[in-house]
Amino acid sequence: MADKEKKKKKKAKEEEPAPAPAAAEAPAEAKQSSRGSRKAKRTGSNVFSMFSQKQVAEFKEAFQLMDHDKDGIIGKNDLRATFDSLGRLAVDKELDEMLNEAPGPINFTQLLTLFANRMSGGSDEDEVVIAAFKSFDEEGKIDSEKLRTALMTFGDKFSAEEVDDAYDQMVIDDKGFIDTAKLITMLTASAEEGEGEGEGEAA
């Protein structure tokens, strides 16, 4: 009996080292996965580091106000309800454009990312400028009167004085047309060059 037990113990000892390499591999895998999750956390929290805790709390409050159906995502009906509560009618096209700014459903993190991109002058800023002016383009030219009306009527409305100031910077031919390509070049170039200067002038 004693011999049998000794043999069993001997066998058990011989079998023990076998799983050791597997155990050694496990921490390496664990390290990789924890490194991966750390990376994921880091990139996910990047947008939060751009704002103070107070700002994040304010955005959160705004998000909750906009999320009328309380499903954690701002959808078309939520946006419509938000505009209604502000006493402003929004058309479907406008709502769709807003929703399309985000690459996916607008949850809180996505909303913060959109704000962060706007504040840091997101990479598509020039594209937005180009698209806006191209919508007025007719065969390479923009009717300055139509543009004036739009600038004074929609969005952040310009005053007549502000439009005049802007038009002083543009080349307008004797028929009242602006060369679209020249205008876009001027606006996108001056936005890049004069970012620092513009701030100084405003102060």
**Total-model pTM:** 0.40
Contact by Cβ (8 Å): 113, 47: yes
Paired with 178 in beta bridges are 142, 172
Residue in 163, 125, 123 with CA at minimum distance from that of residue 147: 163
Q: What does the pLDDT look like over 74-125, one tens digit per residue?
A: 999 999 999 888 888 889 999 999 899 888 899 999 998 888 877 765 445 5
Q: What is the pLDDT of residue 136?
A: 85
Of 125, 78, 77, the C-alpha closest to 101 is: 125
Place of tokens 């751009």: 50
